[in-house]
Chain A
């Protein structure tokens, strides 16, 4: 897991706008951000850094292992 949890979302949409990988979407019914595609998270921390109420928690890993052709 990369992006873990969104708790206490106020619905400002900053995380949705800041995520370069479209991981987070708005649940319009409750006006809260939800993790729609967790597998696509690149752990860039932008959503966490731009959340005004610190609602987003990411996994402790700082980066994901980069797959390179030469191993």
Chain B
């Protein structure tokens, strides 16, 4: 009589997600051929990369990924989605300010002058893309925080808001990725490839749910009431 070892699928998927969305960006960062700077600057860069990667991972913690929802249940996935959003979104919203933070501790251009110059260099496509992504992220965050009020005020339904949230996140991801690839100090070929692949798969899953082409495409679960769904 042998003992069958059933692999804990939940743990395996959690570990795989951590490897893809946390360990892989750190690995590419560590292996990248970039001149290292001060600990503060490198820590800010690394945390920004992880935040971006985790933000892309949000596509896989949505109703488009029904396999994961069925495995863990919707409430838990929603909690993880919210926790990651709190960390990653907060960090990415602070990103323009964090870029100039080291200037407080160095000689040379003042932090606010650096910020002004950065935000007014319109000749750079990368900066314009970054500004667009930042504004979209702000809109995404505000509309997510006040979603219940928004749904009531606009007399709409929760699935419609979800659709808006998803489409906005696709636009944001497009701008953010182009910004990261254009201006990112650490987005070399392996890092950029990883970010693009993760984004394309995540966006494709979301679009497949929104625009099912054939029978068998995953249907989002129906919403019994707005408050319960939006909580």
Chain A contacts to B: CB under 8 angstroms = 4-5, 7-12, 14, 31, 45, 48-55, 57
Chain A residues, CB < 8 A from B57: none
A5 to B124, alpha carbons, bound, how many Å?
A: 19
Interface of A is mostly: loop
A48 to B102, CA, bound (A): 12
Chain A residues within an 8 Å CB radius of B106: 49
Q: Which listed residue (A12, A45, A49, A57) contacts B37, Cβ 8 A?
A: A57
Comparing B108-116, B142-150, B162-170, the segment that makes contact with chain A is B108-116
Partner of A10 from B41, B108, B113, B118 at Cβ < 8 Å: B118
A50 B108 Cβ-Cβ under 8 A: yes
- Whether the pair A10, B126 counts as a contact (CB closer than 8 A) is yes
- Cα–Cα, bound, A42→B117 (Å): 25
Question: Does B90 reach chain A (CB closer than 8 Å)?
Answer: no
- Hey, which chain A residues are within 8 Å of B35, CB to CB? 4-5, 57
Contact size range, B: 20 to 34
* Contact of B117 with A14 in the complex, beta carbons under 8 Å: yes
Q: Chain B 10-53 against A: per-residue CB contact (8 Å), 1 yes, 0 no? A: 00000000000000000000000011010001000000000000
**Chain A residues, CB < 8 A from B41:** 54
B178 on interface, CB distance cutoff 8 Å? no
Most buried by B among A5, A8, A50, A52: A52
**Total number of residue pairs linking A and B with CB closer than 8 Å:** 57
Query: What is the distance, in angstroms, from A14's C-beta to the closest C-beta of chain B?
Result: 7
A8: which of B123, B125, B185 is its contact (CB, 8 Å)? B185
Q: Which residues of B contact A48 (CB under 8 A)?
A: 108
Taking Cβ atoms with an 8 Å cutoff, the residues of B that contact A are: 34-35, 37, 41, 99-100, 102-103, 106-109, 113-115, 117-118, 121, 123-127, 183-186
Contact B108 A12 (CB under 8 A): no
Besides A11-B124, A49-B109, 19 more A-B contacts (Cβ < 8 Å) are A5-B35, A8-B184, A8-B185, A9-B183, A10-B118, A11-B121, A45-B108, A48-B108, A49-B106, A49-B107, A50-B108, A50-B109, A51-B109, A52-B100, A52-B113, A52-B118, A54-B37, A54-B102, A57-B37
Residue of A with least CB distance to B33: A5
Contact assessment for A54 and B34 in the assembled complex, using a CB-CB cutoff below 8 Å? no
Asked if A55 and B185 sit within 8 Å, CB to CB, the answer is yes
**Residues of the B chain whose Cβ atoms lie less than 8 Å from the Cβ of A11:** 121, 123-124
Say whether, besides A49-B109, A54-B37, A10 and B127 are in contact (CB < 8 Å).
yes
Residue with the highest number of chain A CB atoms closer than 10 Å, among B41, B102, B107, B121 = B121
